């Protein structure tokens, strides 16, 4: 891995950064790199510098950049038909949803575009299920969520966030949510009441800093939900589709949620595709006119989703993530660094926690960028490593040389 970076050109990189600063809303704080090309696990900036992508667009590029099968499926479909809306059927959505339901083990799926849309779909689904199936009084349904959750950016979702910045200035918020500490099964038990219809949870909290709950937490939560007639809703938008070393992160504890939410890697880094997946007991509460999306289930997205799913399964990316992730975390833990408080994660979803006495994680990410590695800080103190699942051990070995130099 080259560690010599070409100096940014004032006439190109600076101009592009200035344009973004001038014409876009200031709702992100990206690293000062302008990318123009990607292939597999590698990306190149406008100066020709090559970087190892260790973020995978927040796990949306599990298959690697521009995977040939996903690109071929997109090109073929773009030459045929791209959008029908749901006013008409198309020949791609049904086969795609069948493949998705077969892989996940559920009866039906409702296709959307972004992860947040799929979360909103699941919220509507379990609320209506609570009223029509459980008999909860109208308007009284309650969903339990966890502190430090990240399920998206809609006003309903940020309304039940515990992160002050996500909420500030965006109220009033949707009622009907109860916050409890993450990973605390006793808190979940105490929070369940007669009007509780769902428990919405991430099997690993990604944006919170790659927080892994105690062993058995998801299994115990599933059992509690079953005992109390509460729908377990697993948000696997980041953790699913091979990222944590299993097809779904819930598979680590043999948990089958009532509602499964997927997105990000379902689009193969090419097109936004998401879905809420459930059995008929939950899905059948929707009737024509209850919910919809102009682009959800469109033929281009369905073709891309099918190809993305096949790559994950055919290339056994879950196994690769498990094996490489365990090895990579062991190597990270072996680095003698005065700055690192710990390493945590599962599969290739890994967080390196920077001690507060060493400052925030941002300077470490900037130093990694200068050495040809793109990673991003999360929750101030954590450097997140989540390369495409197609990465090789040799490529990670090269990366470790640079990572160790920065962390030491």
Domain co-membership, 225 together with 302: yes
The per-residue pLDDT for range 301-316, each reduced to its tens digit, is: 999 999 999 999 999 9
Predicted local confidence at residue 11, as pLDDT: 84
Alpha carbon distance 341, 204 (integer Å)? 19
pLDDT category at 22 given cuts 50, 70, 90 is very high
Domain co-membership, 56 together with 98: no
Domain co-membership, 329 together with 386: yes
The per-residue pLDDT for range 354-373, each reduced to its tens digit, is: 999 999 999 999 999 999 99
CATH of the domain at 190: 3.40.640.10
Domain co-membership, 18 together with 81: no
Domain co-membership, 34 together with 113: no
Residue 382 lies in a domain: yes
Q: What residues does 234 pair with on adjacent strands?
A: 201, 260
Take residue 11 and report the two structure tokens written for it.
């006439």
DSSP string, 351-379: EEEEPGGG--SHHHHHHHHHTTEE-EEET
Domain co-membership, 49 together with 179: no
Q: Give Cα 13 to chain centroid, integer Å.
A: 29
Domain co-membership, 121 together with 138: yes
Q: Could you confirm whether 264 is annotated as catalytic?
A: yes
Alpha carbon distance 14, 37 (integer Å)? 18
Residues in the chain: 408
Of 150, 160, 286, 364, which is the active-site residue?
A: 150
Boundary-marking domain end, from 290, 314, 338: 314
Predicted local confidence at residue 1, as pLDDT: 66
Domain co-membership, 299 together with 321: no
pLDDT category at 192 given cuts 50, 70, 90 is very high
The per-residue pLDDT for range 30-47, each reduced to its tens digit, is: 999 999 999 999 999 999
Alpha carbon distance 182, 188 (integer Å)? 9
Residue 294 lies in a domain: yes
Domain co-membership, 287 together with 383: no
The per-residue pLDDT for range 222-274, each reduced to its tens digit, is: 999 999 999 999 999 999 999 999 999 999 999 999 999 999 999 999 999 99
Q: Give Cα 328 to chain centroid, integer Å.
A: 20
Question: H or E element: which one contains 72?
Answer: helix 68-78
Boundary-marking domain end, from 264, 292, 314: 314
Boundary-marking domain end, from 314, 340, 363: 314
Residue 2 lies in a domain: no
CATH of the domain at 22: 3.90.1150.10
Residue 8 lies in a domain: no
Residue 226 lies in a domain: yes
Q: Give Cα 254 to chain centroid, integer Å.
A: 20
Which position has the token pair 């598979």?
251
Residue 271 lies in a domain: yes
Domain co-membership, 307 together with 336: no
Q: Could you confirm whether 107 is annotated as catalytic?
A: no
By CB neighbour count within 10 A (0-12 exposed, 13-18 middle, 19+ buried), where does 227 fall?
A: exposed
Q: Buried (b) or exposed (e) across 325-336, using 16+ Cβ within 10 A?
A: beebbebbeebe
Alpha carbon distance 211, 183 (integer Å)? 9
Which position has the token pair 């960028």?
369
Contact 389, 63 (CB under 8 A): yes
Predicted local confidence at residue 2, as pLDDT: 54
HSE-up of 282 (CA within 13 Å, CB side)?
A: 27
Domain co-membership, 309 together with 213: yes
Backbone angles phi, psi at 64, to 5 degrees: 90, 160
Which residue range(s) make up the domain with 349? 13-63+317-407
Of 264, 286, 328, 376, which is the active-site residue?
A: 264
Contact 208, 216 (CB under 8 A): no
Q: Could you confirm whether 322 is annotated as catalytic?
A: no
Residue 5 lies in a domain: no
The per-residue pLDDT for range 266-297, each reduced to its tens digit, is: 999 999 999 999 999 999 999 999 999 999 99
Contact 256, 250 (CB under 8 A): yes
Alpha carbon distance 345, 349 (integer Å)? 6
- The structural domain count of the chain equals 2
DSSP string, 276-342: EEE-HHHHTT--TTSS--SSTT-HHHHHHHHHHHHHHHHTTHHHHHHHHHHHHHHHHHTS--SSEEE
The per-residue pLDDT for range 115-135, each reduced to its tens digit, is: 999 999 999 999 999 999 999
Residue 388: count other Cβ atoms within 10 Å of its Cβ: 29
Domain co-membership, 126 together with 275: yes
Take residue 87 and report the two structure tokens written for it.
């006013």
Of 45, 220, 235, 258, which is the active-site residue?
A: 235
Contact 244, 218 (CB under 8 A): no
Residue 109 lies in a domain: yes
Q: What residues does 344 pair with on adjacent strands?
A: 351
Say if residue 5's pLDDT is above 80: no
Alpha carbon distance 381, 294 (integer Å)? 39
Take residue 278 and report the two structure tokens written for it.
């459930």
Predicted local confidence at residue 73, as pLDDT: 98
């Amino acid at each position: 891995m080259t560690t010599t970076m070409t100096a940014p050109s004032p006439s190109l990189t600076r101009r592009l950064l200035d344009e973004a600063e001038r014409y876009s809303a200031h709702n992100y704080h990206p690293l000062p790199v302008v990318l123009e090309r990607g292939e597999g696990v590698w990306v190149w900036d406008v100066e020709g510098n090559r970087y190892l992508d260790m973020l995978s667009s927040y796990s949306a590029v599990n298959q690697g950049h521009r995977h040939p099968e996903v690109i071929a499926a997109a090109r073929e479909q773009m030459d045929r038909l791209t959008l029908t809306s749901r006013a008409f059927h198309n020949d791609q959505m049904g086969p795609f949803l069948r493949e998705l339901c077969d892989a996940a083990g559920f009866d039906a799926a409702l296709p959307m575009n972004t992860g947040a849309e799929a979360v909103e779909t699941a919220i509507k689904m379990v609320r209506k299920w609570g009223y029509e199936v459980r008999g909860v009084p109208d308007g009284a349904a309650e969903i339990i969520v966890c502190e430090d959750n990240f399920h998206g950016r809609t006003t309903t979702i940020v309304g039940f966030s515990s992160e002050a910045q996500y909420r500030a200035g965006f109220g009033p918020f949707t009622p009907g949510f109860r916050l409890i500490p993450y990973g605390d099964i006793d808190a979940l038990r105490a929070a369940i009441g007669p009007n509780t219809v769902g428990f919405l949870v991430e099997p690993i909290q990604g944006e919170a800093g790659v927080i892994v709950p105690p062993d058995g937490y998801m299994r115990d939560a599933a059992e509690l939900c079953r005992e109390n007639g509460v729908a377990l809703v697993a948000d696997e938008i980041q953790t699913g589709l091979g990222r944590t070393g299993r097809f779904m992160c819930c598979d680590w504890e043999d948990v089958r949620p009532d509602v499964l939410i997927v997105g990000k890697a379902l689009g193969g880094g090419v097109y936004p595709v998401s879905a809420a997946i459930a059995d008929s007991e939950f899905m059948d509460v929707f009737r024509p006119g209850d919910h919809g999306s102009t682009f959800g289930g469109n033929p281009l997205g369905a073709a891309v989703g099918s190809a993305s799913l096949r790559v994950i399964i055919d290339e056994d990316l879950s196994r690769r993530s498990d094996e490489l992730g365990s090895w990579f975390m062991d190597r990270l833990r072996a680095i003698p660094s005065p700055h690192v408080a710990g390493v945590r994660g599962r599969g290739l979803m890994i967080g390196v926690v920077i001690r507060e006495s060493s400052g925030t994680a941002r300077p470490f990410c900037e130093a990694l960028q200068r050495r040809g590695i793109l990673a991003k800080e999360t929750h101030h103190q954590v450097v997140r490593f989540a390369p495409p699942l197609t990465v090789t051990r040799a490529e990670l070995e090269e990366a470790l040389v640079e990572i160790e130099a920065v962390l030491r």
